[in-house]
Structures are given as structure tokens and as C-alpha cells.
Structure 1
Amino acid sequence: MRIRMALGIWLLGITLAWLAVAPFDPGVLPLVDPQGAASGGWRLRQHALYLSGLWSIGLMCLAMLLSLRLPWLERPLGGMDQVYRLHKWAGIGAAVTALLHWGAKESSGAIKALWGTAGRSGRDAVLPWLADFRGLAKDLGEWAFYLLLAMMALTLLTRLLSYRPWRLLHRAMPLLFLALAFHTVALMPLDFWSLPLGLLMGALLLLGSAAALWSLAGWIGRSRRHAGRIQSVRVLGDGSERAPVEVICALSSRWPGHRAGQFAFVRFDRSEGAHPFTIASAPGSLGTSEQGEPLLRLIIKPLGDYTRSLGQRLRAGQHVDIEGPYGRFDGQGGRGRRQVWVAGGAGVTPFLSLLEARQPGVEPSRSRALPAHLHYCTRDAADDPLLPRVRSLCERARPPVALTVHDDAQGQRLTPQALEAGAAGPLDIWFCGPRGLGDALHAHARGPRPWRLHRESFAMR
């Protein structure tokens, strides 16, 4: 809901600013006058061309700003994972509106073929110092549009491209934005630069360009990066390639600490880039190293080519960069609402941190925790290396956390109705796990039972 609302408000602001400068001319109807001139059709094309262009570049500005991982955006959007969701949908929206912009541009051929050029207005005046760059701006815009569509297709079809080439390709997005920003400035009608549209678009283009340059310089998250080293590495369970890897990291004294349920962007290999991993230990629960460095735990499940190789590649003493912490997945809610936690597969890691924060001897958080019920979905409970730890933490948790295990190997599939069993009143559902299960819970949350779903999402590309 927050994502749709944010995109709606963003597009509405651009639309209202455009209407204030170039209000929609009702003279577009009829599209073709009795004399056969398509004056209204040409006006309609012009309005569609400009408005779709403003929408597209405006959404690209939003995507560039969101890519900076600004911590103050977490509160209104519900966490950095939701910031990335908005970033993704802003990029998709920019590609869709760019397609509309291209369609409006190409429609001139059809109008000309059917009704001729009668009634077509002349070219709008642009900023005088850019008048000689019309041709260059058009060519740059057209090529950037084709590349934008190709990159959006590769981003959506993530299975066609592994993370490393996708990351390198995605780093070219700021260059595309700068080309499209020049296209916009050079071709936007001179009248549009008056208030309020000129001020709005000028500010967005300036901020978006600054964000693009910041990204190209590699400075995103720089102020929140912390150098550290690997204290220990342990492959859990049977030690197979599919077994999760526990990594204990020792960080510098500059590490600000984290809250249970947060995550960080971790870079083990500079050529690979940073990956988001949940911090699977409560604040201060591991103490410090012999050198007095704060320790934190990562539990990494082998879900892709990169994570499957970490058990063999990581060694104690190896350098690591950790950026963060981020996220607002705290497992707490309003009084009068029953707390229900749902973990699926690798999604159990934030709940390990939340459970550890409830153990005797661990310093309690400032927020008062409430009793909760954890539903843990696993493929095979008999071979799950994390299940014994989950059970042990639930048994000792204070306030208490009841545990229900849903073993897929025994046909014990979780259903949304199971979350309501024995729970009176409204529910706070905290979910981290597979997308399909999350979608099912989201659909059920709209039903007659008052649910409030908090969903952690690590689909950050």
C-alpha cells in the first residue's frame, strides 16, 4: 500500500505542476474537424508526448534518489527493503511511461498518413542556449530509451542473468539517467520552465543528476560502511553444499550497533559487490573479540551460485566490509494485537535475532516486547540444522514465544487460516520467507479478519 501511495503521490505532483503550466486544452475534441484537419489529434499527441516524458524522467529521478540508501526514508516506507521495492517499481514505471512517450512520438506518422499535417503546431521554443542541441538530445534520448527497456527486461527476468553481470549492467543506469536528463533539459518547452513545473523539474533533475554522479563514484552507503574481519566460519548441519553457513564477524569500534531483526549489506569480495544478509544475533549477545571488537553473526543459506560457494571460500581472518545496519523488522506491534511470526526457509534468520534478544541475560530493548507465536515452515524438519536452535530459543524466550513447525516433508503446509487458530482479536503478522507464501498471506490480509502484515523482502533487484 505504501509503495502504491508513494508512486501515486509522486505522479500526481508532476501532473498537477504540468496542468498549472499547460492545462489540458479541451479543444482536442473533435480530434478531426469538419475540414479534415486533425488539429485536436495533434494537440492530444503533444499533450501525451510531454506528460509521459515528464512522468518518465520524474520516476527515474525518484529511482536514482532511492538508490542512495538514505536511512531517513526507512521510517515512512517501512524499512530499507521497502525502499528498494519502491526503487524497483519506480524504475518499471519509468520504463512503461517511456514506452508511452515513444508511442506518442511515433504516432505522428499515423496521424500524418491519415489526415496530413494540417493543424499541426510548430516546434515549441526551448532554452535558447540549448537550441542547437535538439538533434543530439533526440538521438541520445532514443538510444537511452532502447537501452532502458533492455535493462528493465533483464532486471525483471532475473533468472536469465546471474548477480555479477546484472550488477555491472545495472551500474550503467546512472549514465542512462544523465543522457535522459540532458534530453529533457534540451527539449522541454521554454514555457514549462515557469513556476511551478520549472522549479519542480529543475530540482528533481538536479537531485537525480547528483545521485547519479554519487553512484558512479561508488559513494553509496559510504558513511555507513564499516571494516571488519571474519572471526570464524562454520558450515552447519551435514556440511553439504546446501547447508547454511554461520559467519561470525568482528567489526571496528565505529560500528554503531544494531537492533534485532535488522540486516546489512556485506561485501566479502570487492569484485562481487555487497549482498544483503540478516544479522542473526541480538545486539551485544556475542560480546567482543579478544581485541575488544564487537561481534555479530550472519547465517547464510546457499540460495544462489555465490552463496553456495561461501562455505569453501570464506576463512577466519579474511577482510569484510559491512554497510548498515538497515531495516525495521522488529517483530513488535501495537498493544491489543496478537503477534504472529511466520518464517519460511532462509526467512528464519531475522527471527533468530529476535528470539535471541528475548533470552535471559541479554540486555532488553527499549521497546517492550509482547508474547508471540512463531510458525516455522521447513522443507524437512528432520534434516533442518537450524530447527534445534529455534526450538531452544523459543523455550527460553521471555516474553514467551510459542512455536509451531510446518514440515513440508510430512505434508504440513501452512495456511493463512492456521495463523488465526486460537488467536482472538486483531493480528500483527511478521513474515519473512518465500514470495509465494507472502503473496498468499497478503491476499488473506484483505479478508474480514483484521490483519496487519509486516513483510520483509530481500528481492532487491
Structure 2
Amino acid sequence: MRVRGIWAAWAAVLTAAWMLALWAEQGQGLVAGANGESVQWAWLLRRDLLLLTGVWSLGMLSLTMWLALRQPWMERPLGGMDQVYRLHKWLGTTAAVAAVMHWIAKESSAWIKTVWGTAGRPARDAMLPWLAEGRSWAKDLGEWAFYALLLLVALTLWRRLLPYKPWRWLHRVMPVLYGALVFHSLVLLPQAYWQQPVGWLMGALMVLGSAAALWALAGRIGRARRYAAQVHAVQLLGTRPAQDPLEVLCALPAHWPGHRAGQFVFVRWDAWEGAHPFTVASAPGACGQTADGRTLLRLVIKPLGDYTAQLHRRLHAGQAMQIEGPYGRFDGRAPHADGQAVPVQVWVAAGVGITPFLAWLEARQPGSMPHAEAPGDGLSAAHLHYCTRDAATDRLLPRVQNLCAEACPPMGLTVHDAAQGQWLRPQDLEHHGPELDLWVCGPQSLGDALQQGAQAVRAQGGRWRLHREAFGMR
């Protein structure tokens, strides 16, 4: 809901700025026909849509550029870096849709000429005088940037069309495309708009967005949170190298700030491949330290793609690596109502989504470091629903069972074995009560089903507080 709310609020701000400019033009009679006649409504509608869609496209894309900087302060208002990326993705998609509408409005001139002719066409808007010579360049550059933007967004949404590595390198062109669109907007935005709120807003966004683009092109994103680390140990959890999970112990330097159970990091073993996000599958301090005092943390990686399926061959003890983070707010901190924590948490994990819960379970083991670091953040009773494709071959299930058996406060465990037809449904959680603190990490389809279940419970007077980890980083 935070992502939707921020998206809607930003769309409202951009639209309101455009409407203020529209009202100012109507009140002052700033729009006139090319030959002094009254403006024909179709031409006026085309002009207004061109300006609105341009404001929307550049405004959405500017915020997208800022979200790409991965600043830690962004996590609090959005609920975690995964939600930052989710908003980043949908703002970029909205910018592309607005750009398509902008292009359609531009190309509609031929259709309007055929139906209504050129009578009543608005006079060409006056541009900033010192940029007037760049009008032709701005139009051409904006059109080519538009085509490239559509291609990048299509490749982002259609993941099977392009593997991660070439997509990542192609995506690094985005700051350059943004610069081209800034030039297009700077030249073509009517001069009168620069004296109104819409011009002030667009000018500020161009400056801030361009600064973010330059920061990205300089390779500065996340640099302050990067740490030189080392592979301490690698173990295949099973006998099938390209199918069973891989456990990697990482040794962090002394200035590593630590993490909270449930957070994730960006890991880079290969400079060409780039960084991949992985959840830390161990609680703070649970893995101890190396002989020379370096902190150890555990990653559990399931071979879900070409790159992760080859890691068992690529990684070895002593290998240099880089870790960036930690990020995320999927930490299981219970909300409070009337001074009391919700008595029961329900955790739902599916597939690789079990990794944050492994860290949570380790934090509940006797003698472990406190799971909640802030004063007053206590632990409540919880129940884990673990969805697995085949319990008989799941190499993580025994660890989950042992950790649940030893947890304090007590942990309940229900295993949903897809091989036996045991699929989790929202109804399976209703016996826990109408007031739940529900934490979900798994495929989007599972999260969507539980979201609908939460809405149904709310309609009946109950409340499921739903927290979802969204790992769609592209």
C-alpha cells in the first residue's frame, strides 16, 4: 500500500502542476490560433495532452533515477529496499506509458489535419530564446530516446527475453537516455511554463535527476556500503550440484556494521557479472568469527538461474568477493496495539523465500543474540508455514525442523508438500485467528493470494497485517 500511495501522490502532484498551468493559460488567454483565430478543440486537446504526458513522463522518470541510488534513508518511508525497487520499476513503467501517449499525441496531427484541417491550430509556443536553435535537435533526440526507453522497459518486464547480465549492462544506458529526455524537455517546454509552478517543478526535477544520472554513470551507487570480503567456506547441501542449495560462509571485515535477521545484501564475485541480491540466512553472530576476528555470515543460494546454477563450480574458500549492504526491513518486528504486541505471528515461506526465516529462527535459538535490537521490541509466539515442492528431497527442511523445535519463544511448523498435493490456501491460516501479523516471502502468486485473503478477512471485521518481501529487482 505504501508503494501505491506514493505513486498516486506523485502522479497527483505532477497533474496538479500541469492543471495550474492550464488554468493560468485559460485565465490570461495565452493560447491563440496561428492566424489569430480561436483555437479548434481537437488541436487544443492535442496540445494539452502533449504537455501533460511530457510532464508525467519526465516527472516519473526523474523520481526513478533518484530511487536507483539505493540510499538507506529511502527504506523507512517505503518499508525496505525491496519496496524501493518495486516503486522504481512501476514509476519507470508509468514513464514509458506516458511517453507512448506523448508520442501518440504528437503523431495525431496528421489525423486532425485530415478531419478538421489546419484552421484553429494553436500558434507554436515560444521557447527559451537561448535554446531556440536546438528545437530540431531536441525533437529528434527525444524521439530516439523514447524508442530506447520503450525497449528497456519491455526487456525489464519480459524477463525471459533477455538474461540478467546483458540486461544489466543495457540498463546502465538509462542515465544517458534520461539526459537526452532532459534536453528534449528543456528545449521544448513552453517559455511561459518556466514562470509557473510546473516549470519550477520540472526544473528542480531536471537538476536532481541529472545529478542522480551522473552519480550512476560514475559508478557511485552503493559504494559507501561496499565491503571487501572473502569466501570462507562453500558447501553443497545435497548431492545434486545444479539443483540442491549451496551454502556460502562469508568473512566480513572488522568495520562491517552488522545486520538484522531478515536483511539482504548485494554480492559480487565477478566484476563482469555484477552484484546479485541474496538474503543473509543467518542471525547476527550466529556463525561466529574467523581466527583473525572477521565476522562470518551465511548465504543459502538456490540454483534458480544460469548464474546461480554454476556457483558450485566457481566459488572456493579464500576467494575475494564484495558485499554491499545490508538492506531491507523484513525483520519480523511485531506491531504494537495498546502497548501490547500482537500475540501470534504467522510466517509463510516458499522456495528460496525460506532464507530470511532461517535467520529469524536462528535468532530465536537459546543463547543467540537478541532478535530485536530496539528497546521494547520483544518476540512473540509464531507459526511457520513452509511450502516446498518435495519434502522428501528438500535439503533445507531438516534444518527448518530442528530450528523450530529448539526455538524460544516456541515455533509451530506446518509443511505444505506440493508433491503430495498440499498447496497452501488463505483458508489454511484462518484458524490462527482474525488478528494476525503475517510475514510472507515467496513467489508473487503466493503473495497475491494471501493479499486477497487478507482483504477478505478485513471485510469480515478481522485484520491480517501483511508484510511481503518483493525480490523482483528487475
Cα distance in 1 for partners of 2:24, 2:473 equals 38
Cα distance in 1 for partners of 2:267, 2:148 equals 29
Tell me how large the CA RMSD over aligned residues is.
1.7
Contact 2:241 2:312 in 1 (8 A): no
1:259-408 equivalence runs, <5 A = 259-334=260-335, 335-336=341-342, 338-364=344-370, 365-366=372-373, 367-408=377-418
1:17-28 equivalence runs, <5 A = 17-23=17-23
Cα distance in 1 for partners of 2:135, 2:465 equals 51
Give 1:438 deviation, angstroms. 1.2
Contact 1:230 1:250 in 2 (8 A): yes
| Alignment length (residue pairs) | 454
Give 1:82 deviation, angstroms. 0.5
Q: CA offsets per residue over residues 241-276 of structure 1, 9 Å max, x none? A: 101000000011121000000000100111000000
The corresponding residue for 2:10 is 10
* Residue identity matched to 1:369: L
* Residue identity matched to 1:297: R
1:253-264 equivalence runs, <5 A = 253-264=254-265
Cα distance in 1 for partners of 2:313, 2:342 equals 48
Give 1:445 deviation, angstroms. 1.3
TM-score with structure 2 length normalisation? 0.93
The corresponding residue for 1:32 is none
Local SS of the residue matching 2:285: coil
Contact 2:50 2:105 in 1 (8 A): yes
Alignment gaps of 5+ in structure 2: 30-36, 336-340
TM-score with structure 1 length normalisation? 0.96
Pick from 436, 442, 445 the counterpart of residue 451 of structure 2.
442
Local SS of the residue matching 1:445: helix
The corresponding residue for 2:64 is 63
Cα distance in 2 for partners of 1:303, 1:86 equals 24
* Residue identity matched to 1:392: N
Local SS of the residue matching 1:429: strand
Contact 1:332 1:339 in 2 (8 A): no
Is 1:238 the counterpart of 2:244? The answer is no
The corresponding residue for 2:191 is 190
The corresponding residue for 1:33 is none
1:41-120 equivalence runs, <5 A = 41-120=42-121
Cα distance in 2 for partners of 1:444, 1:74 equals 26
Give 1:25 deviation, angstroms. 7.0
* Residue identity matched to 1:440: A
Contact 1:231 1:248 in 2 (8 A): yes
The corresponding residue for 2:472 is 459
* Residue identity matched to 1:353: A
Q: CA offsets per residue over residues 19-42 of structure 1, 9 Å max, x none? A: 2223287799xxxxxxx9861111
* Residue identity matched to 1:109: A
Contact 1:284 1:294 in 2 (8 A): yes
Q: CA offsets per residue over residues 60-88 of structure 1, 9 Å max, x none? A: 00111110011111111111000000000
Contact 1:181 1:205 in 2 (8 A): yes
Give 1:424 deviation, angstroms. 2.5
Give 1:238 deviation, angstroms. 2.0
Is 1:225 the counterpart of 2:226? The answer is yes
Give 1:336 deviation, angstroms. 3.1
Cα distance in 1 for partners of 2:38, 2:116 equals 6
Cα distance in 1 for partners of 2:69, 2:252 equals 23
Q: CA offsets per residue over residues 284-340 of structure 1, 9 Å max, x none? A: 111211111111100000000000000111011111110000000112322235310
Contact 2:343 2:380 in 1 (8 A): no
1:408-423 equivalence runs, <5 A = 408-421=418-431, 423=432
Q: CA offsets per residue over residues 396-444 of structure 1, 9 Å max, x none? A: 11111111111111111111111122x2241111000112111111111
Local SS of the residue matching 2:186: helix
Contact 1:336 1:425 in 2 (8 A): no
Contact 1:231 1:316 in 2 (8 A): yes
